[in-house]
Amino acid sequence: MEYTHYYDSPLGKILLASDGHALTGLWFEGQKYFAAKLDPDHEEKNLPVFGQAEQWLALYFNGKIPDFTPPLSMKGTPFQKEVWEELLAIPFGQTTTYGKIAAEMAEWRGLASMSAQAVGSAVAHNPISLIIPCHRVVGTNGSLTGYAGGLEKKKWLLTMERQAAGIVV
């Protein structure tokens, strides 16, 4: 059974999902792939993991770097999970590119190259936005490309993080 809970953020409602123990989803209401991996038979319930996620989100939206991560359970292919693990390593206030992630993953696997588009697809299907920071991935030239929550939200999130981290742009 899966459970859901809503959180009101400065950027609109966020739907949280859980398997009862770990967070399985975090989507801005109406975003692309909204609740894509959510079991149709779910019920709204307040769980401890939702309290942890709300604490994390409150810190984050107040420009603070959360010093913990709620328990996560990523639903996806092995490749998607590898990409999402890479996203977790992107520091607050910083960005990387799809191509850089692809090159790093190719190197670990001993491959000559890997498709940045394949990485982009995995990033786009990240079911736990914000906590798994897919908004920190940009195009090769630094352009704000692709964000399931919308480019205005991506711009807001990156600007907030850079200001909070004292990064001058």
Token pair 């030239």 is found at 141
Per-residue burial over 125-135, b if 16 or more Cβ lie within 10 Å, else e, is bbbbbbbbbbb
- Rounded to an integer, what distance in angstroms lies between the CA atom of residue 94 and that of residue 41? 38
Structure tokens at 116: 């940045």
Q: How many CB atoms lie within 10 A of CB 62?
A: 10
Query: Which residues carry out catalysis?
Result: 134
Evaluate whether 22 touches 49 at the Cβ level (below 8 Å): yes
DSSP state letters, 20-76: SSSEEEEEETT-TTTTTT--SSEEE---HHHHHHHHHHHHHHTT---S----B---S
